[in-house]
Amino acid sequence: MTMTLFSKIILKLVCSMMLIAPFFVSGQTDQHRRGLKDYYKGYFPVGVAVTPRQLADSAQKNFILKHFNSLTAENAMKMAPIHPKENSFFWTDADAIVNFAQQYKLKLRGHTLCWHNQTPRWMFYDQAGNLVSKEVLLQRLKAHIYAVVGRYKGKVYAWDVVNEAVADEPDRMFRNSLWYQICGEDYIFKAFQYAHEADPKAILFYNDYNTEYPRKREHIYQLLKKMRDAGIPVHAVGLQAHWSITNPSKQELESTIMRYASLGIKIQITELDVSIYAKDSDSASGFTPEREQQQAAQYLSIFKAFREHRKQIHGVTFWNLSDRYSWLDNFPVRGRKNYPLLFDAELQPKKAYWEVVNF
Ligand code: GLA
């Protein structure tokens, strides 16, 4: 029996109704179903710094799974929390994050193996309270890196091996940390060597902030070049990206990306937030409509640059989930509430979010 034209049209209509019906039923539009990571699928993974408590809370867990496909432990893998005493490790928190990433097939960045902050005192001192020798310190660094990288081998795909070793002062190359005072620059090279030995497949990062300031950018460039020329296994640079509504300009950001990319290394944005205060001295007048607008414009500008440089940018990670909590609530001014992320305290998208996903 042949179908009449009329019944064919009716059949088509019914079929297409059936296809779109679920969205009407759930009241969801495409905009609501897609998360940040989905908009950036063809570009780079979108990550977020987390605590184990957030992963255990069902609302935050669902929010994370909707918007992000990569995680970084905000604190759990840092040296002081994970290696509180020479012969004792605290794995519980880091394990929880690793297990979550495995369960939901999320990428996981390791952060961080060697830093001047959040490092336990025992690392630098002997039992009599004197600073240890270079030999002892490097031995301890090696034991730490072997234990942590070894435990998560194959589960953590990238490590921030050395964090913030370059100085802020324009006339100084290296930060004058205890690492540097005891070992000179060798601790940096050794850290990369140990991490590579512990997991030869991991992508190894040097990670720092203010990477767009010309002098510091150049110092970091020189350090990376020296390591590359010497065959030290540094594969990538992490731009922390603790930025603000006025900094950096698109042009400053692009020059930074191209400068580091010229070394033939990968780049990731590792700790992104955009402070609503242009200066440390700005008074705490809160999230005004003007600042909201400036922040949306700044997010638009930096994500445009990321998209245009998708060949160089291999990942973008936000530092904290939403404006409910950010480390910037207490830095650099104690108690000055900040609103640096794409989601508000109720985990709802802000104006800046829509700028970032509308392209
Ligand atoms: C640095 C570190 C991060 C984090 C932030 C502030 O950028 O790399 O781990 O501690 O400071 O929270």
Q: How many domains, the chain?
A: 1
> What's the 264 CA to ligand 1 centre distance in angstroms?
26
* Closest to 250 (Cα-Cα) out of 210, 308, 292, 289: 308
> What's the 155 CA to ligand 1 centre distance in angstroms?
22
Per DSSP, 329 falls in state G
> What's the 318 CA to ligand 1 centre distance in angstroms?
11
Residue 191, SS3 per DSSP = helix
- Given a contact cutoff of 8 angstroms between Cβ atoms, the answer to whether 153 and 198 are in contact is yes
- CATH number of the domain to which 120 belongs: 3.20.20.80
Q: Using alpha carbons only, what angle is made at residue 269 by residues 288 and 123, rounded to the nearest 5 degrees?
A: 105
pTM of this prediction? 0.92
- Report pLDDT for 29: 73
Tell whether omega for the bond before 84 is within 30 degrees of 0, i.e. cis: no
- List the alpha helices (DSSP H) in 202-350: 214-229, 250-261, 289-308
Residue 242 belongs to a domain? yes
- The range of the structural domain enclosing residue 89 comes to 45-357
Identify whether 164 is a catalytic site residue. yes
Q: Verify whether ligand 1 is closer than 6 Å to residue 270 (CB atom).
A: no
Q: How far apart are CA 290 and CA 292, in angstroms?
A: 5
- Report pLDDT for 175: 98
Would you write out the chain's pLDDT as a tens digit for each of its 359 residues?
445 555 665 556 554 555 444 444 445 677 778 999 999 999 999 999 999 999 999 999 999 999 999 999 999 999 999 999 999 999 999 999 999 999 999 999 999 999 999 999 999 999 999 999 999 999 999 999 999 999 999 999 999 999 999 999 999 999 999 999 999 999 999 999 999 999 999 999 999 999 999 999 999 999 999 999 999 999 999 999 999 999 999 999 999 999 999 999 999 999 999 999 998 787 767 999 999 999 999 999 999 999 999 999 999 999 999 999 999 999 999 989 999 999 999 999 999 999 999 99
> What's the 147 CA to ligand 1 centre distance in angstroms?
22
Q: Structure tokens of 132?
A: 């240890």
Residue 14 belongs to a domain? no
Residue 9 belongs to a domain? no
Residue 17 belongs to a domain? no
Q: Verify whether ligand 1 is closer than 6 Å to residue 271 (CB atom).
A: yes
Task: Please tell me which residue in 185, 197, 218, 271 is annotated as part of the active site.
Answer: 271
Helices 186-198 and 134-151 meet at what angle, rounded to 10? 30
Residue 34 belongs to a domain? no
Q: How remote is the C-alpha of 283 from its chain's centroid? A: 28
Identify whether 271 is a catalytic site residue. yes
Task: Please tell me which residue in 74, 164, 212, 355 is annotated as part of the active site.
Answer: 164
